[in-house]
Amino acid sequence: MRKAIFATALLFIMAQGSALAQVKPETLVKQRQAVMTLHGKYMGQLGRMAQGREPYNASVAARNAGFLDALSKMPWDGFDPSTKDVKSRALPAVFSDPGKFKQAADRYQGEVAKLVAATKGGDEATVKSAIGAVGKACAGCHDDFQQPQ
């Protein structure tokens, strides 16, 4: 009887585990692409400010940096091996060289954290330079891991 209960509990735990893992690959891709779309919204505006194509606004810069901080943590679990064959712009290197991909992701998150700190300091030149560094980290990762459009 005890054995039966234990077996049932184990099956239940396994089922839960697999339920957790069973987000459809297409959903994972859609979710990580949603993060990139929103990055485009907020990083795009920061880029325009850094390049003087839009007036600099310190509070908008700080808000966008905060949003990017959250967004920069969201996409990574979406690059699950199960998504390898789903149509997207992710290059095979994402899955064949996960160490290098993680390194690029970490670099990017580090630059976003520096940008957040810069917007708290409030110095416009420092913020603009930090925006540039985030842009380079974006591009660095896209160059190696994302198919050009």
Q: For a copy of itself, give the closer residue by CB, 93 or 116.
A: 116
Q: For a copy of itself, give the closer residue by CB, 11 or 92.
A: 11
Contact yes or no for 14/106 (Cβ under 8 A): no
Min dist. Cβ of residue 37 to a copy of itself (A): 4
| Contact flag: residue 34 with a copy of itself (CB under 8 A) | yes
Min dist. Cβ of residue 140 to a copy of itself (A): 23
CA distance 120 to 140: 26
Residue 87, helix vs strand vs coil:
coil
Mask for 2-31, x = binds a copy of itself (CB under 8 A)? --------------x--xx---------xx
Min dist. Cβ of residue 97 to a copy of itself (A): 26
Helices and strands, number each (H, E), in the chain: 6, 0
Q: How many residues does the chain have?
A: 149
Min dist. Cβ of residue 143 to a copy of itself (A): 23
DSSP sequence for 90-136: B-THHHH-HHHHHHHHHHHHHHHHHHHHHHHH--HHHHHHHHHHHHH
CA distance 11 to 15: 6
Residue 146, helix vs strand vs coil:
strand
Mask for 41-80, x = binds a copy of itself (CB under 8 A)? x-----------xxx-------x--xx-xxx-xx------
What residues make contact with a copy of itself under the rule CB under 8 A? 16, 19-20, 30-31, 33-35, 37-38, 40-41, 53-55, 63, 66-67, 69-71, 73-74
